[in-house]
Amino acid sequence: MDKKSKRYQKALQVADLNKKYLLSEAVKTLYKMPQARFNETIELTAHLGVDPKQTDQTVRGSVGLPHGSGRAVRVLVFTENPEEAKVAGAEYAGLEDLIKKIEEGWMDFDVAVATSSAMKKVRSLAKILGPRGLMPNPKNGTVSDDIAKVVKEVKAGRVDFRMDKGANVAIVVGKRSFGEQEILENARVAIEALEKSKSSAIKGNFVESLSVSLTMSPSVKIDLKGLQN
């Protein structure tokens, strides 16, 4: 956010950006900030004490938010039984036809899911889907033979997260239109899921810093010690 903008200056009137707030206080503070003209997304961001260059320290996972994410999610399923996936609510389902479309540049979906047998062919898309965080992966539950269950979970508010090259993880925890208590409960569940994603290869402090923000707001820091109380 531009530090000279009127919105930023108004945000400074309700938040001390150098202070670390209890999680509940941080959420309350966000709701005091000036509203944008659209329904902003609320994101929890963590900086992790890991070496992102080490493959055994990669952090990724998924979390089922109790109040959903507030986002409309377009689900694509790689499967030999597309009818089952579409009945479950997937927007797109198929195998060779979808692989060809993606190879030609089509990317109009938010989450990709695959059956274990379909993955044999889907692996050819790794260089396309991988960098975008869209490659189906057993670790975040997007490779499964219970397609109906996975599609319904994703539609109901399951959110995937993945560490970037700077050892940061961002997790969507809802929309500004949600109640403060709903965001607080979603955030607590998201933090718990992030903690559980820590691999045994990671030593020392896992979460080094944590903050919460709206799409158009500065970040409000969260007191990590307060999370343990």
- Find, among 209, 221, 207, the residue nearest to 19 by Cα: 221
Beta strands 41-48 and 207-214: pairing type?
antiparallel
CATH number of 16-68+159-227, picked from 3.20.20.140, 3.40.47.10, 3.30.190.20, 3.40.140.10: 3.30.190.20
> At residue 151, what is the residue type?
V
Give the distance, in angstroms, between the CA of residue 14 and the centroid of all CA atoms in the same chain. Answer: 27
CATH number attached to the domain at 75-156: 3.40.50.790
Q: How many helices (H) and strands (E) does the chain have?
A: 9, 10
- Domain spans of the chain? 16-68+159-227, 75-156
pLDDT tens digits, the chain, 229 residues: what are they?
555 578 778 888 888 889 999 999 999 999 999 988 899 999 999 999 999 899 889 898 889 899 989 988 899 999 999 999 999 999 999 999 999 999 999 999 999 999 999 999 999 999 999 988 899 999 888 999 999 999 988 888 888 898 999 999 999 999 999 999 999 999 999 999 999 999 888 888 899 999 999 998 899 999 998 886 4
What is the distance, to the nearest Å, from the Cα of residue 95 to the centroid of all Cα atoms in its chain?
26
